[in-house]
Structure formats: C-alpha cells, structure tokens
Structure 1
Amino acid sequence: MDNQYLEVFIEESKDHLQSINDHLLELEKKPDDLVIVGEIFRSAHTLKGMSATMGYEDLANLTHKMENVLDAVRHEQLSVGSDMLDIVFDSVDDLEAMVVDIASGGKGTRNVETVVSKLHALETGEAVADTASPIATAVPDDREELQLDEFELTVLQQSEESDQSNLRVTVKLREDCLLKAARVYMVFEVFEQIGEVIKSVPNVEQLENEEFEHQFTVLLVTGDSAKDVQAKVMKVSEIEHVEVSEFSVQSYLTEGSEQKDISRDKEDDVKDAANQPTPSSSSEPSKQQVGNKTIRVNIDRLDVLMNLFEELVIDRGRLEQISDELQHAELQETVERMSRVSGDLQSIILNMRMVPVEHVFNRFPRMVRQLSRDLNKSINLTIEGAETELDRTVIDEIGDPLVHLIRNAIDHGIEEPDVRVQHGKPEEGSLNLKAYHSGNHVFIEISDDGAGINRTKVAEKAVANDVVTNSQAANMSDKQIYELIMASGFSTADHISDVSGRGVGLDVVKSTIESLGGHIGIDSEWGHGSVFSIQLPLTLSIISVMLVEVQAEKYAIPLSSIIETAIIKEDEIMYAHNKEVIDFRGKVVPLVFLEEVFEVPRTREKDAYYSLVMVRKGDKMAGLVVDSFIGQQEVVLKTLGHYLSDAFAISGATILGDGEVALILDSNALIK
C-alpha cells in the first residue's frame, strides 16, 4: 500500500477518533443535544468510509455498528445514558487500538465480539447481555479477522447441510507462555482429533514462527459441541481462555453485502463533496487561503532537517572563531550576516517542530471521567493553555508523568464526596491543568482543591523510611518536606492502589522530568489542595550554555540553571560540616570543585582567585568552581550513546567551532 495514503489515513483517523472522544464527553453533559450527536455521527461515518476504502474491514465494520447506534440516537429512537456511553467509549477504545496496530505495520484486526454484541443490543433495544462467559451466546460478527475464498465457503456450506458444526474458536495463551509455537502445535493436535481446521488467523506458518501476540482464531468443522471443544482445548497447559461460537455462512455473506454498502456510502460522500458549491473568495477568503497553505509533513523529515541544521550550527561556530582570529573585515561582515540568517532559520525550524500540548491534554478528560466513576468521586476537570507549544521530543516524553500526577491527584488528593461535604466543600472536586510560556520555558501546573499534603504524616513516613532524621525533618521548610514524597519508593497511601501506581512513588515522575532538563516543584495547603508545577525547556536540541575551562578541559553549563557568575578570593571560603562553603548574599552555599569531581589532570597551578558559576535546583544552590569563563554560546546537544548513558553529572556533549568536544554538565546531579 502507498505509504503516502497510509500516513494520511492514520493521521485523519486519529483526528476523527479524538473528535468523537471530545464530543462524547460533551454529550454526557448535554444528553439531549442532537447537534453534538450529529457531529459524532459525521466523524464516525467519515472514518467508516475511509477504512472501507483502504481495505480495513474490521475497522469499517465496528464503526458501522457504532454508527447505527448513533443514528438511533439521532432519530430519537434511543436515549443517551451512562451505560450507553460506556459501550460507545469501549468501541472507540477498540477503534483506537486498531488504528495503532495499523500505524505499527499491522492489519488492524482485533477481537471485538463483545462490544459488537453490546452495540447490537443497544441498536435493537435489547438488554445488554453479560458477555463474560467464555462461550459466546450472541452471534458474533463472523467476518472478524477472516477472509474466506470460494472453496472454503463451499466446505463450510456442505458441513452445515450435514451433521457437522462450523465453530469459530479463539484461543488465548497466557502472557508468560515461553514456547508459543509448541502450545499452538498441541492445540492443533486436539483440533485434528475432533475435526478439520478450515481457516487459521494468523496462518499456520505465522503461528509456527510465533509471529503473533498471544491469541489466534480458527474455523473448525467438527461433530463435537462447543462446550466439548472448549473443554478439550483447555486441557492444554498455558492456555488462558478459549472462546467458542457458532459460525454462520449466511451471516458472513450478509456482512459482505453490508461491506459493499459501506463502500457505496463512501462513494456517495465523495460525490456529495464534489457537488458542494465552492466558497467564493469574497465570502470566506481566510478559510480558502488556509486550506491552500497547510500541508502535512512527516516528523522524520523534520528530524533530518534538524540534524542538518545542527551541523550548520557547528560550522557557524567554527567560522566565527576563524573570523575572530584573522580579523578580516569582509569575512567578519559575511560571518555576521550568516549568523543572523542562520538564527532566523533556527527559529523557523524550531517553530516547525513545536506541537501544542493539546496533543497530550486531549487524553485526560476521558481518563478523568473513567477514574471518577471507578473511585465514586465527582470531579470537574478544567484545562487552560492547551495551545501552548512544546518541542515534539518533549511532548513525547511528558505524557506519562502527567498521567501519573493526575491519577495521583484524583486518588490521593481529592476526597470522597461525603468527606468533602463534612469539610464544607462542594461534592464535586476541582482539578485544573494549566500550561503557559515564561521566558525560554513552558510551565505545566496540576492543581486540585483536595485534602492537600499532610506535613506531619510525610515527615513521620520519611523518618520511618530513613530518608531523613528527626532533627533534619524538624528544621525543614514545608516545601522541602513536600519534596520528600518524590523520594524513591515513598508513598503515604494507607493501602496500595491500582489507580495511582501500585505503591510506585513520584520518583519516576521526577527523574523523567529532570532527564528533560526540567524541574518539578510542589506547593500545598493542608485541607485546601495541592499544586504540582513542572518547568520544561522549549527544546532539547539546541541550547544556550556558558562555556568554562577546568585545567585543559572545556565544559558547557546550560544557562537555564545558572543564576550568575562570580569571582572570589581564597580567603572567602569557609568550612561547614567539613565542606567548603561561601556566604552568598546571606545564604550558605556549598562549593563543588569540578576538577575533583571529574578527576581532571592538573596542567597548571591554581590561582589565588576562584571563578564560580552559581547554579540553582529548586530552592537549593551550589557554586561550581572552574578555572576560567570562555563565554556564552548556542550549542547542539548530542547524546553520549547507550554505553555512556550512566556517566555521572554529564547530560551530553557538543562539538565546538574548533572541532573540540565539550561535555555538557547536568547541574541538577551536582547539587545534593
């Protein structure tokens, strides 16, 4: 299949599914608003047509079933309720999983018998049956994962006319099964003893090569009953469960005609679009211009462009150095112009890589809805600044930490409705997600109006876990105490919860954010709520640094963590707790000698003066002792690779204009 069309299909499918998700959440608040239903129906109808055209029949069939339910709501034959929305949400989950499978190179197949039977029950007005039984009672969509040729259909039709049964058998192996191919072989031996396998999905060769996850489906012609088949297959070890249902040839052929109707619907959509009047330039000029000037660009191409520009930045630094050395007027003028142009080019490329945080925030309304139902809490989620933009590489990494923080706020922060009422609060808890720009950073805040953080409980737990001593806890500020909850394995929960991480503390969140060059802070008021504030850099590729010299080696310190530089005399150094410190504007700040930390070979004697780079990590500060300052410069951040990823206090490296390599320091790791 043409990758060009496939990429467009995947992107547009994701857009339609996100639109369906958003409108379903809106419909839950306004169940009588048929305009919202119409929007959902249009997105589902378009997705169905696209899927059929691309040949993804399972995706098209499930969307078609969901569309029928929406059509019933649209014509007021079915009312919108919580149970109905749960089933439609489950359908959307399956559709999203299919699209993800297609994006990863799969065929978009998925076992959706349960949700299809529920959708069918909604459509026909029947009670939704409990489909937890391993033997399906409802007739499933027999086209699921199966493409039958004429010979196979003939065999199945003949068996229906005799005393044989056509059974669809889905076998799921346990996830810890080590020899999947061996288990499949044993299952097929059982099938051969009781009948004949007509079709297998995946095919036999793929099963033998273990080219499947943990589940496969076969069409079996047998004289045994469904229960007998299930019992015999379950005797094979490492089988999690077996689903057996009758396979109807007539149903298969009927669904085939429905598929043709779907394709015709798509053709009708295309014709309708072609017959729509073209908007005149005088009535809607802006929309027409936007449509003509917007294109989709594969992110891989932007990565290549960024890599090429990074090389250009390195060469620019080299030219600037040569220009300074030669002091040639025309060369200096040319280099200055090149620097200005490349600076503008850098801004354009970085802006092209920027993605609104909305792409991450979009998943949270649905998640909060489900969690509030699971925990029997009423929660109102508000989102601000979703249009705030971040580099794509940062967006990719920040999703999981935000999920953890939101789940933590809902589980531990916001109280039960009856407890909130007792404390004079409204039953509905508030959760606010806010993003905004400030300088060269983006801030994301997660705030709630829940119980807040109990300083006493955190301090007692920290002392019990030997994180701090009693005397240290007594002298710590509230913010310092709150930060203890991000220590490894720390949790104040009275019992382990599936919601907020099964006892896994916020240390994972903290380490992920710090690996992005960011910082997380906590503020809380007991009884009134908490605020988790995340500070992130706009981009990770090109950063501004202060170049310093330590003996004969050069190091780069990111400007984002530097407060200022200073020069002190040797006699200004004091000692506290056997450590060298200075008095920095009334505050005792420890010194970190980079020469000792990185074991730099000595090539010259120390001066009587010390050059300091003052760095900050939250409320903590340190003075990095260097030999001299080289100056400020924009550099390209290069990773050290897998083998050197554990190097202490080194976040990467950069190539300077003269071809030398300078290591980029992780000042957070140097501040204890």
Structure 2
Amino acid sequence: MNVDQYLSIFIDESLEHLQSINANLLSLEQNPDDLDIVHSIFRSAHTLKGMSATMGYEDLASLTHQMENVLDRVRNKQLELEPYIIDELFKSNDALQAMVQDIVQGGTGRAEVAANLQSLKLIANGESREQHASGEEEKAELSHSPFDVDEYQYSVLIRSLEAGFGVYFTEVVIRGDSLLKAARAYMVFQLLEKHGEVIKSTPSVEEIEQEMFDRSFFVVIISKVNEDVLQTMIGNVSEIEAVKVSRITRGTLIELKGQHQETTIAKEIPAETAKPARIGNLDKPVTAVNVSAAVATASRSIRVDLDRLDALINLFGEMLIDRVRLEQLASEIRRTELTETVEHMSLVSNSLQDIVMKLRMVPIDTVFNRFPRMIRDAAKTLDKKIELIMTGVETELDRTVADEIGDPLVHLLRNSADHGIERTADRIAAGKSATGTIHLRAFHSGNLVFIEIEDDGGGINGEAVLAKAIQNGLVTQDQASNLSEEDIYSLLFASGFSTAGQVSDLSGRGVGLDVVKTKVESLGGHVRVESRRGIGTKFSVQLPLTISIITALLVQTDSEKYAIPLSMIVETTSVRMDQVRSVHGIRTICYRNSIIPVISLLDHFKIPGEVRLYNDNVNMVVARKADKLLAIEVDEFIGQQEIVLKSLGKFLAGTDVVSGATILGDGQVALIIDTDAFFQ
C-alpha cells in the first residue's frame, strides 16, 4: 500500500494528538487521581501508535506502545502515579514531537529512543515487582497486556488447564532495526506450533503477516513444554530483542476475564458522573455531551491546505479590486440597472469577504497551547513556583499572524519567568505568595488583537536600565535626565541590550527584546512595556486582526494617492498654515494641548507640487504609535476603503515608510504608508 498520499493527514493528526497528550499531562500533574485524563492520554497514545505502525514509523509506534503500557497500569489502578512517572511521560512526548517534526522536514522519523523505552519499561515492570508478591506479578503483567478471549477460546483454555496442559501468555519484541518483522514473527509462530497450539494472537495473524504491527506481538498458547523452555527457544530466534512467557493459572484466567468485563462496563461512564478536567486554567466538565458535540463538529469539518486558502484570498482580492472599479463606473454612468446590480454585488461580496476572512482565522489557543508546558519546565529549571493563567484563548486572528507571533511570545514569557518572578524566599520576604503568577491575555478591540503578558514579580529597575543604557552609549547623561519612565523602559528593546548580570539557560530581561520588537512590527503591530517596582511588569502586544485585506484611508498629495491603515489613525483634522510652527527646526502643531511633529508626504517623497500660500488650510492625519502622536500633512482626503495588500518585493526594499501597495478602482497603484516608520 502506498502511504505517501496519507502523509499530510498523518502529520496533522499526529501533531493534534501530541498536543492533546501534552495538555492532558499538564492537567494530570495537577489532578493525579483523575482517571478521565489518563483515559484521554491513553486514547491519544493508542491512536498515534496505530497510525505510526500503519505508516511504517517503527520508533514512533514502539515509544507510544510503551507509553500505553504505563498508562494502562495507571488507569487500572495497578500503578500509583508519581511525579517522576509524569516527567518520563513528558520526556517521551517530547521525543515523539521531535520525530514527527523530523517527518515534517522530510526525514524518516527515526530517533534514538532506547533510553525512553527503557525508562518506561522499568516503570511498567519495576512498579509491579515492588507492589505485588510473586503470585500477583503474573496477574499484573497480564492485566496490562491485550489479553482478551471470546467465550469459545475461554472454554478451550479452561479445559486445557483441567487436562493438565500448560497455558502461557507470551510477549515477543522484535529488534527495532529488523527489516523483516513479518518473517521473524512467522518463525516464532512456526516454533510455537511445533510445541503446542496457538489459541490467540494480538494483533491477528493476518495483520502480523502484513506487518500491520509495531515491534511487539502477544500470543496465548497451550503446550506441554514449560515456560522457561519456551522462552529460551523463542529467544534463540534471530532478531528477537525480548521474550516474556507467563504461566496462566485457572484462578488467574477466571479473575482476568471478570476484570475485563468490569473494565468494559466502567469505560461507559454516564454523563452525570463525569468529573471536571482542569485544562489550562479553565474547568471544563468532560461529559458524554461534550464528546458527542466534538464528534459532530469533527464530522462536519474538512482539512484544507493553507496554500489553497492563500490562493482563494488572492482571487478574492482581485475581485474586490474589480468591484471597486465597477462602483466607480456605475457612479459615472448613472444607469439605474447598473447601479442596482453593482449594489447587490457589493452586498454579496461583503458577505463573501466575511466568510473568506474567517477561513483564515484561527483561535489564538493554537499559539497559547504550548506555553503551559514551557512555563512548567522553566519553573522547574529556575526552582520557582509559577502559575500561568491564560484568558481569551478563543480570540481569533489571521493564521499568518498566529504562525509568526509564537516565538516573540515565548521570549516574553521566558523573561517574565526568569527575570520577572522572584525566587520563592524573596517573594515570601516581600509579603507575597510563594507562587508567582503570569497572566497571558488575548482580546479583540476593533480591528486589532491585543496580547498582554503580565507578571506579579519584582518589576523593572529603571535606574539599572538607565545606567546600562548610558554605559552602552545608547543615551548621554544629559539625555537620560529628560527621559520619561516609558522612554527608559523602551530602551530594553535596543539591540543587544541586557541588564542581566549573567546569562541563564532561559534569558535575562532585555536579551533579544529587539528581535521581539522587530518581529511584531513586521506584522504591523506594536509592543510596549509597563512596570512598577515590587508590583510587576506588563508587556502589551498590539497586532492587526488580518494582514491581507484591511480598511484604509485614501489620501492624495498633489497627483499621488496613498493609503494609510485605519488602525494607525487617531483622527483627521484641518489646521491653518499659520498654526504650523517650527520648533528646533522641526515643523509642529498644537494638538489637544500637546505639541506634535508634522510630516509632509510632499517633502518626504520629494513630490513636485505648487507652493502653498501662508494662510491656506492644510489637512492633517493624526497617527499614533503607543503614546506618541504625529501629524501627516496631505492635500485631500479621498475616503475610507477596503484595500488588498500587495507586496512590492525588492522594488522598494529600502523604503521603510512604505509597507506595500494596493490597486485602486481606477487602476492606479497607491502606496500603503507605514506610519510607524515616521516615529523612528
């Protein structure tokens, strides 16, 4: 069977299962007695094992199989869940993620997982030896294996025991580097059939012949040969890594069959008895209703390649340009039929635009879901107690923005954990709770998405920041005396700036924040920081909801037309030329009791135009970046319009104030102004 056609589906579903395992392990760490969470992890591991075996990724299948063994022992209450067990499960999940990422990058998915396998085997086997006597060890070993026989097979086994035959449960593990697993399994079956009768195999004989199994399989056999002889004979087969032969007694057989029936019944948990599972920081009851709804939703959804969505967006953008052109022609021709048709087309295209844009929207939870694990590991590394509280995870933003914003947020969160949250002893001495808190919030405001990372740590030492900035030559002593608190904190975003006395495994406050700023601004966003000594620090990231189709104000300067995104505009106004004053060689105006600079597009782009009279009125667009304002001088306001962003590639690569271009209804090209560049 050619499985290449299923590779993309395998990757997508594997990543989903791994993320589910990761999130559930975090919940399980907080609620170790909640078996519902254990069942969820087991199902994800079991599904991933089957998918991996089918696709031929043996290392993936082997590791998930061993995770199954441990989880099955836990869910059957034969193994107490200790912190070190959860740590090992986390490590195994990390190894699985690394293998899937290798597959994503075109690799084979093979990895050195012997240490992970051995650790999980010791947990599964070692715990049973510590908790059970020798008579119970056999039963424990069998109970975590796929031992399930029908009524006929059960009666055959009982009669065989009564007739004096030995009944054995055999687990055979083939070496990971074996190229002919089915052939090795066939040799084992041939050997067993010479010395007895095989009653059942898991997987089935047909599946084993087609190599539809991972490295291990299980066999129930009736034989007159004792278990030690069987184990030795099977172990002598080439490329067999391990063999475990266990004798089944009549009492064990009866008890295990009863346990199997009870387990089957117990899995059918009524909705009203389901316990709330703590996921992140939200308590969500896991009930049969939730599962049904999830299944119903999944059955009504399909996977669509992102490139196809990009193509759809581009085509819709071209249609939007033509719609604007038709609206302009209709206003010129003034035919009733044409006007009505264009108006209806506008209504339909607006609805279509909403649908098309929502196709690219994803909940920010796809970005946030990796942070709880990261903060957990950071807290252990730093020997701190940290709680991450996430809100607004359902907030949606463009897939492109979501893909790019993850790394900047990782760095900001690491800064909060490393340099923001104090050590436990320091927090207690300061009268704070021993556990530090980091709040990660997301919310919409108009056409913008805001993400806030706020910690209740010690805050930023402004004096230390200023002293370091003077030492590095970022500001002079005279300039430093005139800096506001916000200006001082903004120095953290200077390239290579850091106040950390030593470099840690995570970060020091300021390390790499220039990269965060650059990435956020490349997405059309802003980042700012607020801090209070002894109270905490808050980083605020402002991002556009989407970066493909935006609403902009069209303006004209002389014969040139420009587009300024509405998200950057505070308001438009008109002032007299005599109100424009020169302060230290910079043109300024008084705006709401503040003096703000004036930028002229005519001068900036060196557009040849007529000399204005002194008493002429001039139009201004007031733009904002964080708490800073400036006015952009233009000749005329054309109006508000939805525009499609087009990249200019290398043509205007050196022009910071131009972020792209758009095609207007009359076919003209209008440059899109990035007002942030004027603040630098």
TM range (shorter): 0.7 to 0.9
Q: Which residue of 2 aligns with 1:641?
A: 649
- Asked whether 1:121 is paired with 2:108, we answer no
Q: Answer whether contact 1:19 1:40 (CA < 8 A) is retained.
A: yes
* CA shift in 2, pair 1:255/1:392, >3 Å: farther
Q: Answer whether contact 1:356 1:389 (CA < 8 A) is retained.
A: yes
For 1:610, the aligned partner's letter is V
C-alpha deviation, 1:17, in angstroms: 1.1
Q: Which residue of 2 aligns with 1:95?
A: 96
SS state of the match for residue 613, structure 1? strand
Q: Which residue of 2 aligns with 1:415?
A: 422
* CA shift in 2, pair 1:348/1:73, >3 Å: same
Q: Answer whether contact 1:652 1:664 (CA < 8 A) is retained.
A: yes
For 2:398, the aligned partner's letter is D
Q: Distance in 1 between matches of 2:316 and 2:293?
A: 33
- Asked whether 1:252 is paired with 2:284, we answer no
Q: Distance in 1 between matches of 2:64 and 2:546?
A: 39
SS state of the match for residue 358, structure 2? helix
* CA shift in 2, pair 1:572/1:628, >3 Å: same
- Asked whether 1:147 is paired with 2:179, we answer yes
Q: Which residue of 2 aligns with 1:664?
A: 672
Q: Which residue of 2 aligns with 1:441?
A: 448
Q: Distance in 2 between matches of 1:642 and 1:92?
A: 43
Q: Distance in 2 between matches of 1:417 and 1:584?
A: 48
Q: Answer whether contact 2:178 2:239 (CA < 8 A) is retained.
A: no
What CA deviation, in whole Å up to 9, does each residue of 1:160-202 have, x standing for no partner? Answer: xxxxxxxxxxxxxxxxxxxxxxxxxxxxxxxxxxxxxxxxxxx
Q: Answer whether contact 2:3 2:55 (CA < 8 A) is retained.
A: no
* CA shift in 2, pair 1:426/1:399, >3 Å: same
Q: Which residue of 2 aligns with 1:227?
A: none
Q: Distance in 1 between matches of 2:344 and 2:236?
A: 74
Q: Distance in 2 between matches of 1:283 and 1:78?
A: 29
* CA shift in 2, pair 1:574/1:123, >3 Å: same
Q: Answer whether contact 2:184 2:237 (CA < 8 A) is retained.
A: no
SS state of the match for residue 499, structure 1? coil
Q: Decide which of 606, 609, 613 is 2:617's aligned counterpart.
A: 609
C-alpha deviation, 1:151, in angstroms: 11
What CA deviation, in whole Å up to 9, does each residue of 1:63-122 have, x standing for no partner? Answer: 111111222223334332232222211110111122222233333212212212222222
| TM-score relative to the length of structure 2 | 0.75
Q: Which residue of 2 aligns with 1:524?
A: 531
* CA shift in 2, pair 1:151/1:22, >3 Å: closer
Q: Which residue of 2 aligns with 1:224?
A: none
Q: Answer whether contact 1:565 1:611 (CA < 8 A) is retained.
A: yes
What CA deviation, in whole Å up to 9, does each residue of 1:304-353 have, x standing for no partner? Answer: 11111011111111111212222222212211111111111000111111
5+ residue gaps in structure 2? 129-172, 186-234, 246-263, 272-288
| TM-score relative to the length of structure 1 | 0.76
* CA shift in 2, pair 1:23/1:252, >3 Å: farther
Q: Answer whether contact 2:174 2:240 (CA < 8 A) is retained.
A: no
Q: Answer whether contact 2:79 2:127 (CA < 8 A) is retained.
A: no
Alignment of 1:281-292 (within 5 A): 290-292=297-299
Identity among equivalent pairs (%): 51
Q: Distance in 2 between matches of 1:440 and 1:251?
A: 66
For 2:636, the aligned partner's letter is S
Q: Which residue of 2 aligns with 1:334?
A: 341
Q: Answer whether contact 1:111 1:144 (CA < 8 A) is retained.
A: no
- Asked whether 1:308 is paired with 2:302, we answer no
C-alpha deviation, 1:368, in angstroms: 0.6
* CA shift in 2, pair 1:83/1:659, >3 Å: same
Q: Distance in 2 between matches of 1:370 and 1:47?
A: 24
Q: Distance in 2 between matches of 1:251 and 1:91?
A: 28
Q: Answer whether contact 1:449 1:528 (CA < 8 A) is retained.
A: yes
C-alpha deviation, 1:142, in angstroms: 7.4
Q: Mean alpha-carbon deviation: is it higher for 337-346 or for 589-598?
A: 589-598
Q: Which residue of 2 aligns with 1:38?
A: 39
Alignment of 1:229-378 (within 5 A): 250=237, 252-253=239-240, 290-378=297-385
C-alpha deviation, 1:23, in angstroms: 1.3
Q: Answer whether contact 1:637 1:652 (CA < 8 A) is retained.
A: yes
Q: Mean alpha-carbon deviation: is it higher for 98-107 or for 566-575?
A: 98-107
C-alpha deviation, 1:460, in angstroms: 1.8
- Asked whether 1:76 is paired with 2:77, we answer yes
Q: Answer whether contact 2:558 2:609 (CA < 8 A) is retained.
A: yes
Q: Which residue of 2 aligns with 1:455?
A: 462
Q: Decide which of 592, 608, 612 is 1:585's aligned counterpart.
A: 592
Q: Which residue of 1 aligns with 2:222?
A: none
SS state of the match for residue 475, structure 1? coil
Q: Answer whether contact 2:562 2:672 (CA < 8 A) is retained.
A: yes
C-alpha deviation, 1:545, in angstroms: 0.9
* CA shift in 2, pair 1:149/1:377, >3 Å: closer
Q: Decide which of 482, 504, 513 is 1:506's aligned counterpart.
A: 513
Q: Answer whether contact 1:142 1:251 (CA < 8 A) is retained.
A: no
Q: Distance in 1 between matches of 2:5 and 2:349?
A: 31
Q: Which has the larger radius of gyration?
A: 2
Alignment of 1:609-628 (within 5 A): 609-628=617-636
Q: Distance in 2 between matches of 1:4 and 1:496?
A: 46
Q: Distance in 2 between matches of 1:429 and 1:46?
A: 37
SS state of the match for residue 648, structure 1? coil
* CA shift in 2, pair 1:304/1:249, >3 Å: farther
5+ residue gaps in structure 1? 128-140, 154-247, 259-271
* CA shift in 2, pair 1:142/1:639, >3 Å: farther
* CA shift in 2, pair 1:481/1:285, >3 Å: closer
Q: Which residue of 1 aligns with 2:494?
A: 487
How many residue pairs are counted as aligned between the two chains? Answer: 547
